[in-house]
Amino acid sequence: MRKLILLVFFVLLCWTSHAQKNAIFFAPHADDESLAMGDAIASAIAEGYNTIVVVLTNGKDVGSVQQYTLSKEDIIKARKRELIIAAEILGVEEENIIFENYDDDKLTVSQCLKTIDKVNHLYPNAKMSTVSVYDTHPDHQAIARALYQSYLNLDKKISIAFYRVYLHADLKTIDKLPRSVEAIPLKYPEIRRKAITSYKDYDPIKGVYGIGYDAEPELFKAALESNYEYRDQLSSKTILLLKNERSTLIIIPALIAGGLLLLSYLFRLVIKQRR
Ligand SMILES: [Zn+2]
């Protein structure tokens, strides 16, 4: 009888771990998770996903670092602390946060591929989200490209989504939304607002110095005013950018323009000869 109970328990354990739904959110920098995907993270938790936040860089080279009397090591600690607080507000527990500690501004696609591979082994076939290839920061482009590459490498067994960070500041009105972007109305605006606002906290006792907010106050203000999160639609142009085949985007129109010029030249030549 005892053996039977143990067997049933084991089968149930296997079944629940297999049935567990995982959602992974990759943030190139601490704060991107809340600014770009805070509502998506809160929604994943509400939908019962085991939700993991992966932070790729250590944050030591934050733009406004000069104004702090902190060492680089303390900056790294403070930025981790800021992220842990914001993620906990969104509903992600500290043990579900992975810090990769790559250097800022130097993030490469191959580093990101390694991280995605590692995370995919821990949480296979997950729903994976990150920032957008249209974001101007090269670290954002690196993780977006790596996630698309992993999606292809894994035979599309993971689902992927890309959320824009800088569009919050760049978009003047919602009717000017680029066609390749979907505006998703916030489901948990209060939770998202609290998470974003926590990056303003200055409290040395808690080990936070408002570094995230100080680095980009305008972006924070714009994100706080927004009623949406912005997700890329996977148009053919977006896929070309994700595959880093931007050159194709330039070469094809250039070839068409060149061909048209040649045709008009030949046409004029024929007309001239006929006269
Ligand atoms: Zn960022």
Residue 17 has pLDDT above 50, yes or no: no
Q: How far is the CA of 46 from the centre of ligand 1 (A)?
A: 25
Q: How far is the CA of 225 from the centre of ligand 1 (A)?
A: 19
Residue 111 has pLDDT above 50, yes or no: yes
Q: Which residues surround ligand 1, an ion (CB under 5 A)?
A: 28-29, 32
Confidence at residue 249, expressed as pLDDT on a 0 to 100 scale: 54
pLDDT tens for each residue of 22-52: 999 999 999 999 999 999 999 999 999 999 9
pLDDT tens for each residue of 211-232: 889 889 999 999 999 999 999 9
The whole-model pTM stands at: 0.83
Q: How far is the CA of 130 from the centre of ligand 1 (A)?
A: 10
pLDDT tens for each residue of 53-72: 999 999 887 765 556 678 88
Residue 11 has pLDDT above 60, yes or no: no
User: For the packed helices 72-90 and 189-198, what is the interaxial angle rounded to 10 degrees?
Assistant: 170
Q: How far is the CA of 156 from the centre of ligand 1 (A)?
A: 26
Average model confidence (pLDDT) across the chain: 89
Find the mean pLDDT for residues 109-120. 98
Q: Which of 66-70, 153-157, 191-195, 265-269 has the lowest mean pLDDT?
A: 66-70
Find the mean pLDDT for residues 75-79. 92
Q: How far is the CA of 32 from the centre of ligand 1 (A)?
A: 5
Confidence at residue 270, expressed as pLDDT on a 0 to 100 scale: 73
| Residue the block writes with tokens 């990056």 | 199
Q: Which of 1-10, 60-69, 135-144, 156-165 has the lowest mean pLDDT?
A: 1-10
Q: How far is the CA of 40 from the centre of ligand 1 (A)?
A: 17
Confidence at residue 258, expressed as pLDDT on a 0 to 100 scale: 73
Residue 142 has pLDDT above 50, yes or no: yes
> Quick one: DSSP state of residue 206?
T
Q: How far is the CA of 115 from the centre of ligand 1 (A)?
A: 17
User: For the packed helices 32-46 and 189-198, what is the interaxial angle rounded to 10 degrees?
Assistant: 140
Higher model confidence: residue 19 or residue 170?
Answer: 170
Q: How far apart are CA 206 and CA 95, in angstroms?
A: 19
Q: How far apart are CA 236 and CA 155, in angstroms?
A: 18
Confidence at residue 261, expressed as pLDDT on a 0 to 100 scale: 80
Residue 86 CB partners (closer than 8 Å, separation 6+): 30, 31, 33, 34, 38, 195, 196, 198, 199
**Main-chain dihedrals φ then ψ at residue 81, nearest 5 degrees:** -60, -45
Q: How far is the CA of 237 from the centre of ligand 1 (A)?
A: 23
Q: How far is the CA of 135 from the centre of ligand 1 (A)?
A: 9
Confidence at residue 173, expressed as pLDDT on a 0 to 100 scale: 82
For residues 113 and 26, the answer to whether their CB atoms sit within 8 Å is: no
Q: How far is the CA of 100 from the centre of ligand 1 (A)?
A: 14
253: how many CB neighbours lie within 10 A of its CB? Answer: 10
Q: How far is the CA of 212 from the centre of ligand 1 (A)?
A: 10
Q: How far is the CA of 8 from the centre of ligand 1 (A)?
A: 47
User: What's the sign of the alpha-carbon dihedral 252, 255, 261, 264?
Assistant: negative
pLDDT-derived band at 122, boundaries 50, 70, 90: very high
pLDDT tens for each residue of 169-202: 999 788 889 999 999 999 999 999 999 999 999 9
Q: How far is the CA of 83 from the centre of ligand 1 (A)?
A: 13
Q: How far is the CA of 55 from the centre of ligand 1 (A)?
A: 10
Q: How far is the CA of 134 from the centre of ligand 1 (A)?
A: 12
Q: How far is the CA of 164 from the centre of ligand 1 (A)?
A: 10
